[in-house]
Amino acid sequence: DAGACVVLATGDAVRQHGFKPLARLVSWGVVGVPPEIMGIGPAPAIRQALKRADLSLGDLDRVEVNEAFAAQYLAVEKELGLDRAKTNVNGGAISIGHPLAASGARITLALMNELRRNNLKYGAASLCIGGGQGIAAIIENVS
């Protein structure tokens, strides 16, 4: 079990209240895939989010792919041609854990911290969802 909290705010709210954001949500993608291959969901979700952001995979400095299981990550890596030097650089769900209720927040925060720590610009956070879905977000470091 786990819990997490993410605070999203508009640019106007950030300015009005003097918030210091950790990152900017550039775009997102949510897709459906056949349930039999639910683990591939992050690949089309990342593509959709990149298209909406007018970015390419090469623009990403870091990628977080939640590993529901090892073969699932490998399928996404192969489908997208991910660079292991830029993906799950501090470990993934297999090593860190996969608390279902908090995994999205965990990988997004890990991505934001990695971008800030290394003064990098863009990253993608992604997860597969049982039943046949994929979700991804493109994050921009604003520090």
pTM: 0.91
Given a cut of 70, whether residue 1 has pLDDT beyond it is no
Q: At 21, phi and psi to the nearest 5? A: -65, 150
Give the tokens for residue 137.
Answer: 């977000």
pLDDT in tens, 9-35: 999 999 999 999 989 999 999 999 999
The position carrying tokens 């991804």 is 136
Q: At 94, phi and psi to the nearest 5? A: -65, -40
The second-level CATH assignment, the architecture, of 11-141 is: 3-Layer(aba) Sandwich (3.40)
**CA 109/CA 141 separation, integer angstroms:** 11
What are the structural domain ranges in the chain?
11-141
pLDDT in tens, 66-114: 988 889 999 999 999 999 999 999 888 777 777 666 788 889 999 999 9
**CA 92/CA 135 separation, integer angstroms:** 16
